[in-house]
């Protein structure tokens, strides 16, 4: 798949503080890429450099093959940015804000396109309302409208659903998918791991200005994740049959439960069969798959830990591998 954004050895220093990098990253055409990281990790710094809000200290960024500094007019036409902080101009209405933003991009906003945007963002009845009178959620939707008004090839969403209620968040997710289906490449930063898990095709985890991992979401979950099976027994047992031990099972809850952890594509059919054959039919069966949140916390912990401390980091992350209760 072709790259629409190519980030090469990009770093940013504020005074003596190294906020970012150097970072290498490519964003593929038509994907939803989620950039995850804690506060101050460098997410906003990175996308601000791509969008032209900040200048990189070192390195180059190309959007659709054009340099963001030398060919800034071309690259900015290709980019839409929804900033993290809500902003609005109290002097103007929703329609005026959208028309001005379109004009800055050299686009005359057709009535049809205006109505399409207002409808998609549920702002149709607020068309003539002053920006100051909008609720927080409406102001955020207006920001999204302003970022989309020139039909960008790449849309950057910096914490798009921060402070947005669940219903609106779901509707925004749905709209983001619609945009992706129409061919828009989407890069989002988020604190809501559920959001990345729900939307992203690929995920990058960034911390302290370093990109820890970039991977397909499913592969990331498979590679770093684990599955856990817990068989709750009718009564406690003193020891496990050898067949179950061979399959990696261990006793938990004072012998009242059998726990097995597996990674990758392993299945638990053999464990269930061995338990039944050993006369240990479960009273209840619980399964759990690692969530993106577990992987994220684990990666961050590994990122901070010295080399070879992966197991300790895994335990610190409290994921299934730590033996914790699912």
Half-sphere exposure of 91 (CA within 13 A, CB side): 1
- Smallest distance from another protein to CB 143, Å: 9
Q: Which is nearer to another protein, 100 or 173 (CB)?
A: 100
Among 16, 39, 73, 235, the residue binding another protein under the rule CB under 8 A is: 73
Length of the chain: 326
Q: Is 273 helix (H, G, I), strand (E, B) or coil?
A: helix
14: nearest Cα among 39, 49, 38: 49
Question: In terms of CB distance, is 1 or 69 closer to another protein?
Answer: 69
User: 179 vs 280, which CB is nearer to another protein?
Assistant: 179
Per rule CB under 8 A, is residue 81 in the interface with another protein? yes
β-pairing verdict for 79-82 and 154-158? parallel
Closest separation in Å from C-beta 87 to another protein:
3
83 lies in the binding site for another protein (CB under 8 A): yes
Residue 54 in contact with another protein, rule: CB under 8 A: yes
Does 105 bind another protein (CB under 8 A)? Our answer is: yes
Give every CB contact of residue 313 below 8 A, 6+ residues apart in sequence. Answer: 298, 301, 302, 304, 305
CB of 74 to another protein, least distance (A): 8
Size of the site for another protein (CB under 8 A): 36
Q: Which of 15, 16, 106, 235 binds another protein (CB under 8 A)?
A: 106
Stretch that binds another protein, among 67-75, 213-221, 229-237, 248-256 (CB under 8 A): 67-75
Task: Give start and end residues of each alpha helix (H) in the chain.
Answer: 43-51, 72-78, 94-104, 111-120, 136-148, 166-181, 193-199, 217-224, 242-246, 269-277, 292-304, 310-317
Contacting residues for 136 by C-beta, under 8 A, at least 6 apart: 86, 163, 164
| Options 9, 40, 58, 91; binder of another protein; rule CB under 8 A | 91
Residue in 29, 107, 270, 315 binding another protein, rule: CB under 8 A = 107
203 lies in the binding site for another protein (CB under 8 A): no
Q: Which residue bears the tokens 């607020």? A: 126
Q: Which residues contact 296 (CB under 8 A, 6 or more apart)?
A: 36, 193, 205
The yes or no reply on residue 85 touching another protein (CB under 8 A) is yes
* CA distance linking residue 128 with residue 23, whole number of Å: 43
Which residue in 79, 199, 205, 271 binds another protein (CB under 8 A)? 79
- Residue 158 C-alpha from the chain's centroid: 11
Q: Which residues of this chain interact with another protein, rule CB under 8 A? A: 12, 14, 48, 51-55, 72-74, 76-77, 79, 81, 83, 85-92, 96, 99-108, 146
């Amino acid at each position: 798949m072709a790259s629409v954004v190519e980030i090469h050895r990009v770093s940013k220093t504020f005074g003596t503080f190294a906020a970012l990098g150097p970072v290498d990253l490519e964003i593929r055409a038509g994907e939803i890429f989620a950039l995850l990281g804690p506060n101050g990790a460098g997410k906003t710094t990175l996308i601000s450099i791509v969008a032209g809000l900040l200048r990189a200290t070192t390195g180059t960024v190309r959007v659709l093959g054009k340099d963001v500094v030398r060919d800034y007019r071309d690259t900015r036409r290709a980019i839409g940015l929804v900033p993290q902080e809500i902003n609005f101009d109290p002097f103007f209405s929703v329609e005026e804000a959208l028309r001005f933003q379109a004009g800055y991009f050299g686009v005359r906003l057709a009535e049809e396109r205006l109505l399409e945007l207002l409808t998609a963002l549920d702002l149709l009845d607020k068309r003539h309302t002053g920006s100051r009178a909008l609720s927080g959620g409406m102001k955020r939707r207006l920001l999204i409208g302003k970022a989309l008004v020139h039909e960008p090839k790449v849309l950057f969403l910096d914490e798009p659903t921060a402070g947005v209620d669940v219903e609106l968040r779901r509707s925004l997710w749905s709209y983001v998918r619609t945009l992706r289906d129409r061919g828009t490449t989407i890069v989002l930063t988020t604190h809501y791991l559920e959001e990345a898990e729900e939307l992203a095709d690929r995920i990058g985890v960034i911390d302290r200005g370093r990109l820890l991992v970039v991977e397909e979401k499913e592969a990331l979950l498979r590679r770093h994740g684990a599955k856990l099976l817990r068989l709750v027994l009718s009564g406690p047992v003193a020891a496990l049959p050898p067949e179950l031990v061979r399959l990696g099972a261990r006793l938990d809850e004072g012998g009242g439960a059998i726990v097995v952890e597996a990674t990758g594509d392993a299945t638990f059919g053999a464990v269930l069969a061995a338990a039944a054959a050993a006369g240990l039919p479960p009273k209840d069966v619980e399964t759990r798959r690692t969530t993106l949140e577990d992987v994220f916390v684990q990666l961050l912990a590994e990122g901070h830990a010295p080399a070879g401390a992966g197991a300790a980091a895994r335990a610190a992350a409290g994921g299934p591998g730590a033996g914790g209760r699912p």
